[in-house]
Amino acid sequence: MIFEKLSESETVELKRSTSELDEAMISIVAILNKHGRGELFFGVRDDGTPVGQDVTSNTLREVSKAIADNIEPRVFPRVSKVKLLDKDCMMVEFEGHDAPYFARGRAYVRVGDEDRKITAAELRRLLLKSNEHSWEKEYSDKTLKDVKTGLLRDYISKGKDAGRIGFRFKDAETTLLKLGLLNYGRLLRAAEVLFCERNSLEVQAAVFAGRDKLTFLDINQFRGSIFQLIEKSNTYIKEHMNWRAELTGDGRIEIPEVPVRAIEEAVVNSLCHRDFSSPTPNYVAVYKDRIEISNPGTFPEGRTPEEYIEKECGSVLRNPLIANTLFLSKDIEKWGSGIRRIYSACTKAKVKVEFRSRETGFSVVFYRPEWAANVPENVPENVPEKRLEKIVENMRNDGKVTIPALARRLCVNEKTIKRDIGRLKAEGRIQRTGPDKGGRWEVIR
């Protein structure tokens, strides 16, 4: 890597040699306390003139260790050999979001290109700021190889169609950099949960026989990226709530017991605003009398859901990077307006909705209408036509598709798939040819 002539700034410090290592650590702390990241070069005079520095693998290790051992909270810099106007120099890249930082027990702050001891007032400010530390900005242990390129490509296309993204997909690295999800070639945790299939995210979904958790009719566990979990959770709820049919001049239309738009809004908000530092999963629970969507993540301090329903409130974002990414693809519309949209859709459909804020998390509770709550689970007429069409489509594409495969793809249990297939057979839409094992499905109409 070749650099042009450098100059000192609030985020760049220049040192003539590693003999100034103690002073260098003070500069690192000062920059971290002001900006959270920066660069330092050994082998460069303060006027930007490279003079060179003896750089060996041993030197790189010693500098890295000295910084890690003498700065608190600990910082693990990236130390490398670089060329500056044909001179061998050393570059130290560092980042940290746990301010205040201390070098040998003292705190400093960057002012222009100088480092000065921090005042008591500034220290208090940094301590307050440290409480706002964001999980999503930490480095992930995933790499670019873990990013699902197809998912990222589809995301950019969706954002362009929505008119919120103005660039085309080139490659994963360039795209994530433009989205602010990549720093120094390393993925942020926000990128991990958005575009890596293997991560710590989990949604537990279940259908219960009554109004409590004593007996369940179906249970499932979803893992994947936020976008995959949004789709799986939405599908699960739609397939397990009841629908009624109405005949209009345009034909038969299916009406869900809870507005689909309200369900989708609650699901995306539960994943977008959750506390990602908590190991607790998100929950989707379908009870006899209600549907609950819950996440670990308390409501903003000093605010209530009613405030967001009754008036315009500024959004207090726990995960601004993730929220902005979902906004660009139009998965969320406007920050701080989700609760109002859920309430409005439910009011229009005459569905009671409740927002529960607890110390352990936040829940949106949709109370099922009487006609839906009293419908037995196994009545074939309640099967949404949409799911039947998906089963037919799968069989048309793959005549040997299995019942377990269909259950996984449609996020329902095998008992439900068998019930649906029975209805399709009775309606003369499909038939089975050949033996039970080795045979195939044929779509008639």
Report the CATH number that the domain containing residue 99 is assigned in CATH. 3.30.950.30
Of residues 386 and 107, more confidently modeled: 107
pLDDT tens track for 167-220 = 999 999 999 999 999 988 899 999 999 999 999 899 999 999 888 988 888 888
How large is the average pLDDT for residues 271-285?
A: 91
End-to-end CA distance of the chain: 63
Q: Is residue 137 part of a domain?
A: no
Query: Of 152, 171, 195, at which residue does a domain stop?
Result: 195
Q: How far apart are CA 205 and CA 160, in angstroms?
A: 32
Mark whether 179 and 95 lie in a shared domain: no
pLDDT-derived band of residue 133, with 50, 70 and 90 as boundaries? low
pLDDT-derived band of residue 63, with 50, 70 and 90 as boundaries? very high
Peptide bond into 256 cis (omega under 30): no
Q: By the 8 A CB rule, do 316 and 338 touch?
A: no
Q: Is residue 139 part of a domain?
A: no
CA distances from 251 to 27, 82, 248, 445 (A): 72, 71, 5, 19
Q: How far apart are CA 17 and CA 360, in angstroms?
A: 52
Mark whether 287 and 269 lie in a shared domain: yes
How large is the average pLDDT for residues 13-37?
A: 93
Mark whether 247 and 166 lie in a shared domain: no
Which DSSP symbol is given to 259? -
Whether the per-residue pLDDT at 281 is higher than 90: the answer is yes
Whether the per-residue pLDDT at 375 is higher than 70: the answer is no
Report the CATH number that the domain containing residue 391 is assigned in CATH. 1.10.10.10
The pLDDT of residue 118 is 86
Task: Please count the helices (runs of H) and the strands (runs of E) in the chain.
Answer: 15, 21
Q: Is residue 417 part of a domain?
A: yes
Q: Is residue 166 part of a domain?
A: yes
Helix axes 403-410, 414-426, angle to 10 degrees: 110
Q: Is residue 118 part of a domain?
A: yes
The pLDDT of residue 374 is 59
Whether the per-residue pLDDT at 314 is higher than 90: the answer is no
pLDDT tens track for 228-248 = 999 999 999 998 888 877 776
Helix axes 260-272, 338-348, angle to 10 degrees: 160
Mark whether 222 and 366 lie in a shared domain: yes
The pLDDT of residue 112 is 84
The pLDDT of residue 232 is 94
The β-bridge relationship of strands 114-117 and 71-72 is: unpaired
Q: How many domains does the chain have?
A: 4
Q: How far apart are CA 370 and CA 268, in angstroms?
A: 27
Q: By the 8 A CB rule, do 408 and 391 touch?
A: no
Q: Is residue 289 part of a domain?
A: yes
Q: Is residue 378 part of a domain?
A: no
Whether the per-residue pLDDT at 378 is higher than 50: the answer is no
Mark whether 91 and 222 lie in a shared domain: no
Mark whether 304 and 414 lie in a shared domain: no
pLDDT tens track for 70-104 = 998 888 899 999 999 889 999 999 988 777 899 98
Mark whether 246 and 292 lie in a shared domain: yes
The pLDDT of residue 385 is 72
Mark whether 158 and 307 lie in a shared domain: no
Mark whether 154 and 89 lie in a shared domain: no
Mark whether 272 and 313 lie in a shared domain: yes
Q: Is residue 82 part of a domain?
A: yes
Mark whether 283 and 404 lie in a shared domain: no
Mark whether 207 and 356 lie in a shared domain: yes
Report the CATH number that the domain containing residue 286 is assigned in CATH. 3.30.565.60
Query: Of 132, 160, 176, at which residue does a domain stop?
Result: 132
Of residues 96 and 290, more confidently modeled: 290
How large is the average pLDDT for residues 134-139?
A: 86
pLDDT-derived band of residue 360, with 50, 70 and 90 as boundaries? confident
The pLDDT of residue 260 is 93
Query: Of 195, 211, 237, at which residue does a domain stop?
Result: 195
The pLDDT of residue 377 is 47
pLDDT-derived band of residue 379, with 50, 70 and 90 as boundaries? very low
Whether the per-residue pLDDT at 305 is higher than 90: the answer is no
Q: By the 8 A CB rule, do 433 and 440 touch?
A: yes
pLDDT-derived band of residue 318, with 50, 70 and 90 as boundaries? confident
Please, what is the average pLDDT of the chain?
86
Domain encompassing residue 312: 202-373
Q: Is-above-0.85 flag for pTM?
A: no
How large is the average pLDDT for residues 347-364?
A: 90
Q: Per the structure block, which two tokens stand in for 364?
A: 């949106």
